[in-house]
Structure 1
Amino acid sequence: MATPARNNHASSVQIQEPRTRSPPPPSPIAFKEQQGRPPPTTQQTITGKLFRNLFKGLLFSQLTLTSLLVIVLTIRGLILASSHHFHPKKWYPPLLASVAVSGVASLTWQCIFIYNPSRALRATFWLSPILTCSVGILLVLIGSAVDAGVGAVFVLFAITQSLYGCWITPRLEYTDKILSLSTAFPPPRTREVVTLSIVISVVYSGFLVTGIGGATSTRTNLDLLFISVILIGLAWTMQVLKNAQQVAISRARYVNFAHGEDMDAWSALHVTVKHLIGSICIGSTLVPVIVLIRGSIRSVNLMSGSSDEVMYSGADCFSSLANKVVTCGNRWGFVHVGTYDKGFVEASSDTWLKFRSVNGLEKVIDSDLSSSLCFLSAVSVGSVSSLTAGIWMLLIHKDYALEVTLYAFIIGYFTGMVALAWLQACVSAYYVAYSEDPHSMRFDGTIPQCIHRLQMLRAHRDNRERERQEIDESP
């Protein structure tokens, strides 16, 4: 995937031709076997293999059962539609159109990141709140109390995004540099891998929409359960698809960062799908849960700014818990899953311990905005999709507007998330490779400078806190 030479930050890094050869990491890849299965670095336990096979079986069982359920619901819905006052010609076109729009928007969004990541980064943080607020206003215009309540939630979410965008403004410059450095030279055929992932997302989502419509046609309590099952299956499948892409591209990118070798993204994807789906399924289950837990803990810590001793000890306890939880599962572990064929929990633990072994790197990673960028980009795609379906439904059949708008938002969000997995994969590979050899000549001074700046800020805050305590203790 060619990248224009306009990238300002990327030009300063030497990743193709290093000046010196740095020592390899403890378990280097055998580059002559790049097209085959990644060599495991540790003896895999029977329990680990069992869980991999179990989750792999769960994935394929879920896909099979969901497909059968969708087919049955679709056929039943078409047969019984006339007797339950359901209008397929009014319900399906807006939602299917929004699914197609999500694919187009996702392709457009990632192209913008390829050609101008700096502007795309800043645009995301102001465009996402605007689009989210627009969805909220649309829902309020529908008229009912329920619609207005859901619309108010979207408006509140938009306000939260705006406040967050103001809060993280000082960190945009560093994130811009990291994005430019890590995505400057994507692995060959990355474009094909990303496009295939988006097409699969759109086709699979469109297929599930037919089942949701079939369940909507009768609207029984059992049908609500069926719709919930389909949406949960959609969420997990999209997570697996995103993380499979992330494992493949991060593996290829890591090979370049750590060893100066090029690896084809398509070949890496073939190896990933053939050998690593079990670990990816485990990670796709654990990471969202752990991210939610850790995010909640960090929010509690931010709100516990009181000097009260009980509050302080509680915040300290939460911080300790967050530090332990993140070692059990994090997205950086996918790099070692693809590179060394490790189990996901082991890979997550090893990568995070590597981060902690480099003084100040853990704080730098916590301050990086690439994950927030991908999240808000996905929210933007979801908002565009929901506006497409919602406005259409508002004009032709207001009764369906709320549910169709929400379905479109969910589908658009996951499609957008899949589209930008390659970006997160490149950033993850950059950090993991740096943690294993911080003194490599393939890396410039971006991370060390950020570490120094954060240490200076922390020292300044500590001095201010010490002065405040001395003033309070003085007679």
Structure 2
Amino acid sequence: MPIPTSNGHASRVQIQEPRTRSPLPPSSSPIAFKEQQGRPPPAAQQTIAGKLSRNLFKGILFSQLTLISLLVIVLTIRGLILASSHHFHPKKWYPPLLASVAVSGVASLAWQCIFIYNPPRAVKATFWLTPILTCSVGILLVLIGSAVDAGIGAVFVLFAITQSLYGCWITPRLEYTDKILSLSTAFPPARTREVVSLSILVSVVYSGFLVTGIGGATSTRTNLDLLFVSVILISLAWTMQVLKNVQQVAISRARYVNFAHGEDMDAWGAFRVTVKHLIGSICIGSTLVPIIVLIRGSIRSVNLMSGSSDEVMYSGADCFSTIANKLITYGNRCGFVHVGTYDKGFVEASSDTWKKLRSTVGLEKLIDSDLTSSLCFLSAVSVGAVSSLTAGIWVLLIHKDYALEVTLYAFIIGYFVGRVALAWIQACVLAYYVAYSEDPQSMRFDGTIPNRIQRLQLLSARRDNRELEVGRDRDDTDNC
């Protein structure tokens, strides 16, 4: 992932050249941030429960890695021994899937280059190319021929249509997305390339290792083996989430130091500190954030569907909104910035950062409408689709019976490798938001965020006026 010395949008970036030093909060010192080889500056006194929970989750991570490794080794050996008696063909099953894992790593690195050299084109390509690739996977599954394959293929096609509609809906927000990505990712911290490349390499090697265990379980296809495959996939998902967030904490720490204090921090040094001291908090965040995002997304969907004037429906939607707002306070991605910067527990970091973001008028709504998360998600789906097409076409040509399972495994693995690869982009954006919320008047920030907040407030006012006029028209009609 080459890092250029210049950027097409660098002329608009002022953050790397601080002209005035803004006042620092008492708990943060630029000198402490520059201690890259030591532990991050400790937060306030941590509770015993907090320390225990961090150590507990850290222990769970390494325990499950050990147990999964043993399970994979046993399944692989057993699968190779019993392959002939169960008519399993390792030479036809393993090469396509392992090749797709390697392709996912190459595709992730290629996606990096596109984002670095031309963020606007990368954003547009993501929102328009992902539906095409997803639809291609669906068509491939339909071509396999069976009813089950056709049904799953139809789901992929429907998912692709949904992505296309979403891409049309968010078109007005692309301009702001281009600007915030260009500002936050311009001149990334030194040695970011090494951190991202190592993360991708680890994710590819680990995924390839788990593939051998999945193959071993597939060779016998008993009900117990289906359970083993499910356990391996769950382990893959959580471990990849932890790996992604390790990178996110490290890069966001280095970027925050630059945005908030004008100091440079080596990304590799931040990465080593993160791995050594912050794994427990990262494991907690890696567990809470996906659950809270899923719950909050479901609540938002319920609120959209309950757009009725019925008082019971309205009160229910209002209750759901309150729950969603409470959940996001204690588990949001912005908390990873303070985890790396101040060595806080994840829940405390999430609460502190979200309160700070809310204290800036309009910033919470701006972050809710930000497309960075959607961009990273759809980019990972694209990587998964490329990986899936590689494995699926190969298997379809040599052994059709394995086509469905190999295609789906390749998609899942490619998706998670893509998420790991793009974690640094989301880390830069989060660090930018958190640093801005702590000192909006700093000369290191231009007018991108204030202008966007003003635009959102104007659009909201217009929407409220339209709803008020529609309500009046309904009242007049009822009176008649």
TM-score scaled by length of structure 2: 0.97
Q: Which residue does 2:344 correspond to in 1?
A: 342
C-alpha distance 254-32 of structure 1, shift in aligned 2 (>3 A):
closer
Q: Which residue does 2:331 correspond to in 1?
A: 329
**Residue pairs, 1:172-183, within 5 angstroms:** 172-183=174-185
Q: Which residue does 1:3 correspond to in 2?
A: 4
Aligned equivalent of 1:263, options 265, 276, 281: 265
Is residue 168 from structure 1 mapped to residue 178 from structure 2 by the alignment? no
Q: Which residue does 2:218 correspond to in 1?
A: 216
Q: Which residue does 1:37 correspond to in 2?
A: 39
Mapped to 1, the partners of 2:452 and 2:164 lie a distance apart of 25
Aligned equivalent of 2:149, options 140, 144, 147: 147
Q: Deviations over 1:178-223 (max 9, x none)?
A: 0000000100000000000000011110011000000000000010
Mapped to 1, the partners of 2:185 and 2:34 lie a distance apart of 25
Mapped to 2, the partners of 1:433 and 1:424 lie a distance apart of 14
Aligned equivalent of 1:431, options 420, 426, 433: 433
Q: Deviations over 1:226-259 (max 9, x none)?
A: 1111110010110000000000000000000000
- Write the letter of the residue equivalent to 2:398: I
- Write the letter of the residue equivalent to 2:190: P
Q: Deviations over 1:415-448 (max 9, x none)?
A: 0000000000000000000011111110000000
**Residue pairs, 1:89-100, within 5 angstroms:** 89-100=91-102
Compute the displacement of 1:306 (Å): 2.1
Mapped to 1, the partners of 2:474 and 2:403 lie a distance apart of 58
Q: Which residue does 1:17 correspond to in 2?
A: 17
Q: Which residue does 1:49 correspond to in 2?
A: 51
Q: Which residue does 2:306 correspond to in 1?
A: 304
- Write the letter of the residue equivalent to 1:409: F
Mapped to 2, the partners of 1:6 and 1:423 lie a distance apart of 15
CA contact (8 A) 2:71 2:213 kept: yes
Mapped to 2, the partners of 1:463 and 1:46 lie a distance apart of 52
Q: Deviations over 1:140-161 (max 9, x none)?
A: 0000011011101101111111
Determine helix, strand or coil for the equivalent of 1:339.
helix
- Write the letter of the residue equivalent to 1:111: C
Mapped to 2, the partners of 1:219 and 1:2 lie a distance apart of 46
Mapped to 2, the partners of 1:135 and 1:284 lie a distance apart of 29
C-alpha distance 32-176 of structure 1, shift in aligned 2 (>3 A):
closer
- Write the letter of the residue equivalent to 1:5: S
Compute the displacement of 1:466 (Å): 1.8
Compute the displacement of 1:4 (Å): 4.9
CA contact (8 A) 1:25 1:437 kept: no
Aligned equivalent of 2:192, options 190, 193, 196: 190
Mapped to 1, the partners of 2:370 and 2:177 lie a distance apart of 6
**What is the alpha-carbon root mean square deviation over aligned residues?**
1.1
Percent of aligned pairs sharing the same letter? 85
Compute the displacement of 1:404 (Å): 0.3
After alignment, is 319-328 or 25-34 more displaced? 25-34
Mapped to 2, the partners of 1:7 and 1:288 lie a distance apart of 34
Q: Deviations over 1:89-144 (max 9, x none)?
A: 00000000000000000000111101111100000001100000000000000000
Q: Deviations over 1:66-106 (max 9, x none)?
A: 00000000000000000000000000000000000000000
Compute the displacement of 1:313 (Å): 1.7
List, as ranges, runs of 4+ consecutive aligned residues in structure 1 with deviation greater than 3 Å.
none
CA contact (8 A) 2:6 2:187 kept: no
- 5+ residue gaps in structure 2? none
- Write the letter of the residue equivalent to 1:240: V
Compute the displacement of 1:462 (Å): 1.4
Mapped to 2, the partners of 1:323 and 1:26 lie a distance apart of 29
Is residue 355 from structure 1 mapped to residue 360 from structure 2 by the alignment? no
Mapped to 1, the partners of 2:329 and 2:337 lie a distance apart of 14
Mapped to 1, the partners of 2:474 and 2:217 lie a distance apart of 65
CA contact (8 A) 2:388 2:410 kept: yes
After alignment, is 258-267 or 306-315 more displaced? 306-315
- 5+ residue gaps in structure 1? none
C-alpha distance 331-32 of structure 1, shift in aligned 2 (>3 A):
closer
Mapped to 1, the partners of 2:182 and 2:142 lie a distance apart of 40
Q: Which residue does 2:287 correspond to in 1?
A: 285
- Write the letter of the residue equivalent to 1:37: R
Compute the displacement of 1:26 (Å): 4.3
- Write the letter of the residue equivalent to 1:25: P
Compute the displacement of 1:32 (Å): 4.7
- Write the letter of the residue equivalent to 1:259: H
Determine helix, strand or coil for the equivalent of 1:33.
coil
Q: Which residue does 1:381 correspond to in 2?
A: 383
Q: Deviations over 1:284-304 (max 9, x none)?
A: 111111111111111222222
CA contact (8 A) 2:191 2:268 kept: yes
CA contact (8 A) 1:4 1:115 kept: no
Compute the displacement of 1:314 (Å): 1.8
Q: Which residue does 2:446 correspond to in 1?
A: 444
Compute the displacement of 1:457 (Å): 0.9
Compute the displacement of 1:305 (Å): 2.1
- Write the letter of the residue equivalent to 2:447: G
Mapped to 2, the partners of 1:33 and 1:267 lie a distance apart of 9
- Write the letter of the residue equivalent to 1:394: L
Q: Which residue does 1:415 correspond to in 2?
A: 417
Compute the displacement of 1:309 (Å): 2.1
